[in-house]
Structure 1
Amino acid sequence: MKVSILGGGSEVGASCLHISMADTNLLIDAGMRMHGDELLPALGMLENLGSPEAMLVTHAHADHIGALPIVHSLFPSIPLYTTPPTADLMKIMMKDSYKIMEQRSRETSTLLPYTEEQVSSLLDSILLFPASGSLKVGNLQITSFRAGHILGAVMFLIEGEGEQLLVTGDLSFKAGRTIQGAQVPHDIQPDVVIMESTYGNRAHTDRNTEERRLAEHVAEVVAGGGFALIPAFALGRAQEVLLVLQDYMEKGLIPEFPIYVDGLVTPISRIYKNYPHFLKGPVAYRIRKNGDVFLTEGRCKAVHPKERDEILKGKPGCIVASSGMLTGGASSWYAQRLVSEEKNAIFITGYQDEESPGRKLLNLADGLENNLELNGTSFQVKCRIGKYGLSAHADANEMNRFIQTLNPTYTLLVHGDDDARSRMADLIDPRFHPVLVENGQSYPFEKRKSGIGITGKKYKVNEASMKLREKIGSLLLYQPENENILKLAVCTGTHPKTNLLICQTLKGKQLRISLGQVKETIGSWNQSIEILKQAAGEVFSFSRPFLEKINWSVLPDQTLSFKEIVETLQIKNMDDKLAAAIALQGLPNENRMEEQAGIIHYKLDQKVKRQLNDLELPIQGLKVNPAAAMETVRALFANHPRFIRCGVDDLGRGNERLTIYFDFPDAVSQSERNDLSDVIKNQTGWTVSFADSVRQDLLQTRLLDLLGNSIGSPSIHLHERNVAVAMPRPKDAETLILTFKEATGFDLQFKGEPLSASNDKNKELFQVSTSSIKLENNQALEEAKNWAEERGLAIYKTGVKQQIGQTIMEVHFISPEIAIQHGADLEELSYRIGMPVTYAKNPKQNEIIRLTLEAISKSWDIKKNPSIHIDKKLVAVKLASMPDENEQRETSEKVRRQTGYSLEVIV
């Protein structure tokens, strides 16, 4: 077997492979480069490699088919095979590529690489790969497997005379919105795999997150009166983008706006529509039901070049146009006209060649460029620029697992830049012999003497290396050298010579750690790094909420591995597993033992299980950091009238606590303090204390606000929590005393009064000592009505009832808190009707809600009706955002005056 790399080896572009097996020659793909002077593969090598007996095409992207007209002109009688969708797509892609090259050759005064007649001759010669998926060429059997990536893309398994070779073409394992992911052939073990490595140096972000970002950002730009241009690869990416935007509209997640489709996107979308049986089930169903899902009537408009100016003068919308790298075509035309206005945007969704305008646009967004050159003209970029991960290529971890599944003797890495291929080679296990191929080179492989397979150096492993390899693909909880904290990393490979694990942090940094640094192996992870970062960030910053859900007492009194513990506790979620692993590291050393290399066992007994349940062990993340704790407290107390500040006290021996300071701590009841302590403990993990210090300066201010300037110099008795003022007892003394007590926790004493004078302030029955004529019940009720009108009191009901053998009038205020403020008035009513008076103990909840809504500004975005909390004497209202502080204070005071209830604003 001999594999020759004519192009696409150490680059993305001009892919072309010559395969010689079992005395049969094949040519797989012949693409073009998008930039530079050398657009074609090294086709001159074919003279010495032997004429191919057939040509195979993996898929219809230009970097895989662009040079086929030349190859076909060199070998016009040789059959060219590809799948039916690829054949149809090639007819559009080849003709469009020729037009672009023709225009470029005129602009640069260069020679076209081939003629229009050569393109037509090639397209007429295409043969369809058999529906059975198997083809015989010479002494070779060729089998196709779905490759994902785009419509019609396939891998080729080539077998002959005891040798097997798999050519992947471009791969995508995660199904997009249009097509299914690659078909993994589990029942083969090829001698050689030729695999793409476009994204060999990275892991993809979460697809759903990226789609949501794109849809929402496009909607923002259009809502702001601008156009959002999405330069998209016409084949594959554009169809994905069209489905994303329309699905988000149909679900009501973004507003409706027009989508303008230009360039090759339109005819290619129509070809996708013609192959519903190659598409994913939901898309195929919608095509059969509605006729189309890409160019839907009334939502997506296919634009003719003559209409472009009118589009930009019309209603703002989203433009999906080819080419995806802004190298020419419709997207370049639109970019020239949109790039210099701030209200517009250009959103990049795919791979960008280093020399492409799209790459330079991204560099500009990163501050690496100042101006963008399009079609020979420089433009100052003012529009919004965004990048979104909607890749149709496999990422590094997926390709590594793919190679492990295939178990080849050799792995040739093609179709990637130097960094991507190098990182991919480091990631792949050495026993699969990763090779960084070069353009223009041939790679021969000698057949074994048995005639089955090819020779290759046997990979010898020792037990230590095998233990290391078992960690690949797992999340590792490790302790960095010279640090006393735990961190998380993903094991991506091993380094057999040094017996170190090659890992990647959640921020993408590569590091090597020893097996001894690994504190626990959490398990495998196959989702995006972004999801893992969010879950791990929550656990590491505050593990308590996760640990409080775990009942450790159900574990037996045995020595168990982490895997056994997780299975017994039935822990499924990764964040809960991570929290459990962190907690187990808090066990005493005598309860942790390494029974096998790299596997920790935990000795569990009643004591440590109780300590785990009660969170009494030194567990990382049991409380948030001090800054976060104080920020939480400040947010919690944002509307508390008594709160002044909070701080962290060092109690020694590593113990800390939060201390909360009120201006008048006695005005905050013990039950409220207990509730607040519980809330803070739950939200931060911190123990709370409350300072006893009183703001004496504010006592004077409070008295002045309450009594005016006639109080003189008050006498403050801190120990007795009493303030005496040198002024005679006013008429509304009871109300003033109660108000002052509620606000400060201090008793208020007037000139010449003993301290006990205020002790009957909470009486619920009002009756004057001076006798008066008792009115008949109806007369009493009429008199109560006159009494309320004279004083401007809002009374909702009055009634006469028998209580403790006497007739009593009950007056209904909006709340008992308002009633208590009118003690003197109730005593006067008692004198006027000749009977005791009391007030209703239940608030008028509907009336409180009504008055609260009237008090709230219309600019407040209320999410739902206010809710009443009788036990806390407050009314809560939920808003979309926090209102102005002064406006909130004024509204709260108005609600308190009218209802007696405090106003709590929740966001």
Structure 2
Amino acid sequence: MVPASCRILPAMAISLQFLGAAGGVTGSQFLLTVGDRRVLVDCGLFQGGMDEIARNRMAFSYDPDGVHAVLLTHAHNDHIGRLPALVRAGYAGPVFATDATTDLAQIVLLDSAKLQAHAAARWARHHPEAAQAGESEAAVNEIEMATIAERAERPPHLRTETHAPLFDEKDVRRTIGLVKPVAYSTVSPIVPGVEATFHDAGHILGSAIIELRARDPDGAEMTIVFSGDLGRPNTPILRDPTPLTTADVVVVESTYGDREHSPGSQAVDELMGVVNDVAKEGGVLLIPAFAIGRTQEVIWVLDDLVRRGRVPRLPLFVDSPMACEANDVYLRHPDAYDAETAALLASGDSTLVYPGQECTPSVAASKAIIGSPRP
């Protein structure tokens, strides 16, 4: 477990602070200071913990206006979900990300703003007196602890009295307007003394391993690599993560670092068996999947199984407006595909579109699935 504001670099005018994803797996946020320049890598939402609402509403531990650049590894909420809140708080500098990450981030953040607005409105309906009294004003308190070590062992207790959204759609559009697109394997100047190279991370479309090269005012140099979330080798659609061989410091995700995963081929065989069993019994197969990344992989695998004659062609409903929008983004970025998917696309076969698949862009369309005829 890494203390939240631990400096791990040698004695020079370069420091690195862990402001999220330390002692947990969400809220990714790292602040690199080089001389008088500050660069933020990711600005993610805390998710899943008992204090997630309060933690997301705590003031940033730095002056947003004092940050000079933000870099994004990929478009999942635990890596980008607080960025519009940072912009609302005063950040107006550049945001560096790949084109695909930008396209997906717009979908994710607009959806988040919509959900927050709905949640706030629902709370106000159920608590009209508190809402009229102005209880939406932010008030997040933290019980003080004596040392950083104590914080690392026992997270602080947080209390929030706010039910207002962190940001709205206008904040999201302002955020997207700050993006400076970057290409893979291209050295990009970020601020004086810092340059970055984005490498393919193979996690979701547009995901990147960020290699930062920093030089302090005295001329001392350091290479720091942020892995972001890493994809597994030999997964569908995307290229494998780019291997890097040199760095002074590596900040690496380790969510599943203590687990051994079964081979991908085993998971495909298990899915094939389940689909065939459901088809034989005339049943319905429900596959819960993350809207971005996992849904597209499932579609790819099912299409591949149908094409090879290993499962019958059954009706497929993508029952998620966000997943449907993400599918469109995936189709717009064939430059990110691995060799197998690119070759299939060149032959006229789009493996990201299952034959006859239907998307549900509305609640009514989702409800209509119940009455759809069985094969």
Give TM class, smaller chain. 0.7 to 0.9
Q: Deviations over 1:837-892 (max 9, x none)?
A: xxxxxxxxxxxxxxxxxxxxxxxxxxxxxxxxxxxxxxxxxxxxxxxxxxxxxxxx
Structure 1 residues 75 and 134, CA, compared in 2 at 3 Å: closer, same or farther? farther
Q: CA deviation at 1:131?
A: 5.7
> What is aligned with 1:168?
227
Mapped to 2, the partners of 1:32 and 1:288 lie a distance apart of: 38
> What is aligned with 2:111?
96
What secondary structure is seen at the aligned counterpart in 1 of 2:54?
Answer: coil
Q: Does 2:164 align with 1:111?
A: yes
What secondary structure is seen at the aligned counterpart in 2 of 1:196?
Answer: coil
Structure 1 residues 292 and 152, CA, compared in 2 at 3 Å: closer, same or farther? same
What secondary structure is seen at the aligned counterpart in 2 of 1:72?
Answer: helix
Mapped to 2, the partners of 1:7 and 1:218 lie a distance apart of: 40
What is the correspondence of 1:102-501 to structure 2 with a 5 Å cutoff?
Answer: 102-109=117-124, 110-130=163-183, 133-136=186-189, 137-161=191-215, 162-186=221-245, 188=246, 190-263=247-320, 264-290=322-348, 292-298=350-356, 300-305=357-362, 306-316=364-374
| One-letter identity of the residue aligned with 2:89 | L
Q: CA deviation at 1:290?
A: 2.9
8 A contact 1:21–1:160 mirrored in 2: yes
Q: CA deviation at 1:173?
A: 4.2
Mapped to 2, the partners of 1:106 and 1:41 lie a distance apart of: 18
> What is aligned with 1:69?
84
Structure 1 residues 12 and 132, CA, compared in 2 at 3 Å: closer, same or farther? closer
Structure 1 residues 235 and 228, CA, compared in 2 at 3 Å: closer, same or farther? same
| One-letter identity of the residue aligned with 1:58 | T
Mapped to 2, the partners of 1:259 and 1:303 lie a distance apart of: 11
8 A contact 1:262–1:303 mirrored in 2: yes
Task: Choose from 14, 18, 33 the match for 1:5.
Answer: 18
Q: CA deviation at 1:310?
A: 2.3
Q: CA deviation at 1:130?
A: 4.5
Q: CA deviation at 1:191?
A: 2.0
Task: Choose from 60, 71, 82 the match for 2:75.
Answer: 60
| One-letter identity of the residue aligned with 1:182 | P
What is the correspondence of 1:505-524 to structure 2 with a 5 Å cutoff?
Answer: none
8 A contact 2:300–2:354 mirrored in 1: no
What secondary structure is seen at the aligned counterpart in 2 of 1:3?
Answer: strand
8 A contact 1:60–1:153 mirrored in 2: yes
Structure of higher RCO (CA pairs closer than 8 Å, 6+ residues apart)? 2
Which has more strand, going by share of residues?
Answer: 1
> What is aligned with 1:40?
56
Task: Choose from 52, 66, 70 the match for 1:51.
Answer: 66
- The number of residue pairs the alignment matches comes to 313
Q: CA deviation at 1:74?
A: 2.8
Mapped to 2, the partners of 1:39 and 1:214 lie a distance apart of: 38
Mapped to 1, the partners of 2:271 and 2:57 lie a distance apart of: 36
Structure 1 residues 316 and 14, CA, compared in 2 at 3 Å: closer, same or farther? farther
The unaligned stretches of length 5 or more in structure 2 are 1-13, 125-162, 216-220
Q: Deviations over 1:451-491 (max 9, x none)?
A: xxxxxxxxxxxxxxxxxxxxxxxxxxxxxxxxxxxxxxxxx
8 A contact 1:7–1:16 mirrored in 2: yes
Structure 1 residues 316 and 22, CA, compared in 2 at 3 Å: closer, same or farther? farther
Q: CA deviation at 1:119?
A: 1.1
Mapped to 1, the partners of 2:314 and 2:277 lie a distance apart of: 11
What is the correspondence of 1:777-792 to structure 2 with a 5 Å cutoff?
Answer: none
8 A contact 1:6–1:41 mirrored in 2: no
8 A contact 1:150–1:235 mirrored in 2: yes
Q: Deviations over 1:493-521 (max 9, x none)?
A: xxxxxxxxxxxxxxxxxxxxxxxxxxxxx
Mapped to 1, the partners of 2:346 and 2:166 lie a distance apart of: 42
Q: Deviations over 1:83-115 (max 9, x none)?
A: 111111111111112222222333344211112
Q: CA deviation at 1:34?
A: 3.1
8 A contact 2:300–2:353 mirrored in 1: no
Structure with the greater alpha carbon radius of gyration: 1
Q: Deviations over 1:294-323 (max 9, x none)?
A: 22442x111232222221122348xxxxxx
8 A contact 2:21–2:27 mirrored in 1: yes
What secondary structure is seen at the aligned counterpart in 2 of 1:230?
Answer: coil
Structure 1 residues 21 and 76, CA, compared in 2 at 3 Å: closer, same or farther? closer
8 A contact 2:57–2:166 mirrored in 1: no
What secondary structure is seen at the aligned counterpart in 2 of 1:55?
Answer: strand
Structure 1 residues 287 and 108, CA, compared in 2 at 3 Å: closer, same or farther? farther
| One-letter identity of the residue aligned with 2:358 | K
Mapped to 1, the partners of 2:262 and 2:45 lie a distance apart of: 29
Q: CA deviation at 1:150?
A: 0.9
Structure 1 residues 42 and 112, CA, compared in 2 at 3 Å: closer, same or farther? closer
| One-letter identity of the residue aligned with 2:310 | L
Mapped to 1, the partners of 2:234 and 2:36 lie a distance apart of: 38
Q: Does 2:73 align with 1:20?
A: no
8 A contact 1:82–1:126 mirrored in 2: yes
Mapped to 1, the partners of 2:298 and 2:288 lie a distance apart of: 10
Structure 1 residues 242 and 296, CA, compared in 2 at 3 Å: closer, same or farther? closer
8 A contact 1:14–1:41 mirrored in 2: no
8 A contact 2:31–2:38 mirrored in 1: yes
8 A contact 2:65–2:92 mirrored in 1: no
Mapped to 2, the partners of 1:222 and 1:10 lie a distance apart of: 44
What is the correspondence of 1:770-781 to structure 2 with a 5 Å cutoff?
Answer: none
> What is aligned with 1:403?
none
Q: CA deviation at 1:11?
A: 1.4
TM-score, with structure 1 as normaliser: 0.33
Q: Deviations over 1:126-165 (max 9, x none)?
A: 1101565211122112122211111111111111221121
> What is aligned with 2:128?
none
8 A contact 1:211–1:244 mirrored in 2: yes
Structure 1 residues 50 and 79, CA, compared in 2 at 3 Å: closer, same or farther? closer
What secondary structure is seen at the aligned counterpart in 2 of 1:309?
Answer: helix
What secondary structure is seen at the aligned counterpart in 2 of 1:215?
Answer: helix
Q: Deviations over 1:627-660 (max 9, x none)?
A: xxxxxxxxxxxxxxxxxxxxxxxxxxxxxxxxxx
| One-letter identity of the residue aligned with 1:74 | A
8 A contact 1:79–1:125 mirrored in 2: yes
What secondary structure is seen at the aligned counterpart in 1 of 2:61?
Answer: helix
Structure 1 residues 107 and 33, CA, compared in 2 at 3 Å: closer, same or farther? farther
> What is aligned with 2:43?
30
Ranges of 4+ aligned residues in structure 1 off by more than 6 Å: none
8 A contact 2:305–2:311 mirrored in 1: yes
Mapped to 2, the partners of 1:160 and 1:204 lie a distance apart of: 36
TM-score, with structure 2 as normaliser: 0.78
What secondary structure is seen at the aligned counterpart in 2 of 1:15?
Answer: coil
What secondary structure is seen at the aligned counterpart in 1 of 2:31?
Answer: strand
Mapped to 1, the partners of 2:244 and 2:228 lie a distance apart of: 15
Q: Deviations over 1:727-777 (max 9, x none)?
A: xxxxxxxxxxxxxxxxxxxxxxxxxxxxxxxxxxxxxxxxxxxxxxxxxxx
Identity %: 26
> What is aligned with 1:80?
95
Mapped to 2, the partners of 1:52 and 1:13 lie a distance apart of: 21
Q: CA deviation at 1:22?
A: 4.3
